[in-house]
Amino acid sequence: MTTLSPATATAAATVAPSLPLRRLDSPIGRIELVGNGVAVVSLTIERGGVLPHDEQEEHSDAVLDRAATQLSEYFAGTRTSFDVPIALSGTDFQRSVWARLAQLKFGEVISYGDLGLFTGRASAGRAVGGAVGANPVPILVPCHRVLAANSRITGYSGGNGIPTKVWLLDHEGIGHRG
């Protein structure tokens, strides 16, 4: 299981040259990992062929190398869980949603409504959706495993949106409706 911890540093709009940065190719496009020296703080799936820090050179570290290896294994179908440290920066509500998502096992889904119940805010559908969409480390914290109560895909903020989510769900054998 991925280790969640409060963020000690966040990825800024521009990654400082001293902050670890690593990219890798995947079936859903290039992925960019940013760290803070002890944990992964950001994972971005390219959108339209672009990553946030494309203009910067990679400067990896052991944590990002481990994350890249585990992601490659996940995409190859040989890994079903992650155990890299991550540091999440967000509101208490967002962190509670992400903590529940991090508990989901490979191929397991949860509805937006059940996430709301978990947080004690059963009627907070928009807030839950916003927290899911603001997840700074998709895949590692599996926000793609959130579906509407009728198994319908309602959106995805990573990569190229719904097609990226469909690929991830299909990869895990999760049934869904378009």
**pLDDT: which is higher, 178 or 169:** 169
Q: What is the mean pLDDT of the chain?
A: 91
How does DSSP assign 119-173, residue by residue? HT-TT-HHHHHHHHHT-SSBTTB-GGGEE-TTSB-----STTSHHHHHHHHHHTT
Q: Could you say which of 143, 153, 168, 174 is catalytic? A: 143
Distances (CA, A) of 97 to 32, 73, 90, 134, 177: 23, 26, 10, 10, 23
Are 29 and 75 contacting, i.e. CB atoms less than 8 angstroms apart? no
Q: Which CATH architecture best describes the domain 90-171? A: Orthogonal Bundle (1.10)
- pLDDT at site 16: 61
- pLDDT at site 5: 55
Contacts of 29 by beta carbon, 8 Å cutoff, 6+ apart: 45, 46, 47, 49, 159, 160, 164
In tens, the pLDDT along 78-128 reads 999 999 999 999 999 999 999 999 999 999 999 999 999 988 877 777 889
Structure pTM? 0.88
- pLDDT at site 10: 42
Is 143 one of the catalytic residues?
A: yes
Domain boundaries, the chain: 3-85, 90-171
pLDDT tier at 17, thresholds 50, 70, 90: low
Task: Give CATH for domain 3-85.
Answer: 3.30.160.70
**pLDDT: which is higher, 107 or 19:** 107
Residue 13 has pLDDT above 50, yes or no: no
Are 61 and 37 contacting, i.e. CB atoms less than 8 angstroms apart? yes
- pLDDT at site 18: 72
Q: Which residue in 157, 151, 119, 122 sits closest to 138, CA to CA?
A: 157
In tens, the pLDDT along 130-160 reads 999 999 999 999 999 999 999 999 999 999 9
DSSP conformation class of 90:
S
Are 28 and 164 contacting, i.e. CB atoms less than 8 angstroms apart? yes
